Amino acid sequence: MERLPRVSIIVIIYKVERFLDQCLKSIVSQSYDDIEIICVVGKGDLECERISRDYAKEDDRVVLLIEEPKGTAAARNSGLRAATGDYIAFVDGDDYIEPDMIEVMVGAALRNDCDISITGRFYDYKNRIDGYGVDEDRELLLKKDEAFEIILYQRGFFLHIWDKLYRKSLFLDISFDEGKKVEDRIVVFELLSKARGIVYNTAPKYHFRVSRDSGSRVEDNLLNSLETDKIIAKGILKEYPKLSDAVEYFMVYETMSLIQNSMLYGSFSGKHDKRELAYVRKHSFNIYKNKKVSRGVKLKTFLCSFFPFILKAMTIKRRKAFLEEHEEFSTGADWQKTFKEQGIRNDI
């Protein structure tokens, strides 16, 4: 009988003590047994160290690495160096996964001989769990341009590191850029570009916990994400020029997201957001013409281009209504302070 591949699951753990037990329990309980669980714990986070040690004592598949906290990128690289599996998966310490997630992803990878296997995701709030854009359980074998089109139009998976299974050999010449805040988008783009095959199972299996004080919401991070998007967009256009409309949509949508974040958190003004507003206005006509863009996004593009303060009022109102139905978690961490302590730069 042919040996099933081993999966190394790299778990990044720092200041997530209130969620860590659920995270690790979901991993050790996987229906797919041949896994190693590499817990990379920030040294000095005593409660997370204790919880991780307890799991390591109970389950010999748990590998414990306690290291000086130098950011997510450095922790992921440490996990990769320690990994002995044929495939790599990532789980953040404040998230958790469905019992059959690894089994589903490995099965899809093997059936289709793919380097990357992707699954759907849930967004978890205190009072509800939302599946993202999933109306049925389907397994889609994708060409690379098809995968990038899904990402660009944001109609399925995105450039997250954690909802994917990767053949380990893909990382031979790819690593996370240490000391920077935004490190995963570029890496996922490079991995997808290298992949010999990509399969996507639409059923949600990864639970992403939505926190109002997440480090990803820090304004500098959003600016860095937009700069990273430009690099990715350029790379996609070079390889797949037929995706030009999708790339344009993606950049406009991401720019509007940055503007709306500014509107929600008080820094918006014609001067503060001048460059981003001008970019949306410049590309707005092509967005109107694009038949793959929804009417709602076209309306938002129009308001952002010509009536931004109406868009601001609508954004604040809709956000308020959303939060009345979705109670977000809180990590309790001061991420600006944490980034500074870890020596993480603002540049991309």
Determine contact, residues 108/94, Cβ cutoff 8 Å: no
Single-letter amino acid code for the residue at 140: L
* Euclidean distance between the first and the last CA atom of the chain, given in angstroms as a whole number: 47
Q: Does domain 8-209 have CATH number 3.90.550.10?
A: yes
Selection from 2, 20, 338 nearest residue 209 by Cα:
20
DSSP 188: H
Structure tokens at 55: 């799991």
pLDDT of the chain, 348 residues: tens digit per residue: 567 899 999 999 999 999 999 999 999 999 999 999 999 999 999 999 999 999 999 999 999 999 999 889 999 999 999 999 999 999 999 999 999 999 999 999 999 999 999 999 999 999 999 987 565 789 999 999 999 999 999 999 999 999 999 999 999 999 999 876 656 899 999 999 999 999 999 999 999 999 886 554 455 677 888 999 999 999 999 999 999 999 999 999 999 999 999 999 888 998 899 999 999 999 999 999 999 999 999 999 999 999 999 999 999 999 999 999 999 998 765 545 555 555 555 554
- Residue 213 in contact with residue 333, Cβ under 8 Å? yes
Q: Report the b/e string of 105-118 with b at 16+ CB within 10 A.
A: bbbbbeeeebbbbb
Q: What is the DSSP letter of 174?
A: -
What amino acid is encoded at 306 in this protein? F
Residues of the chain with CATH 3.90.550.10: 8-209
Residues 6+ apart with CB under 8 A from 103: 30, 31, 32
User: pTM to 2 decimals?
Assistant: 0.92
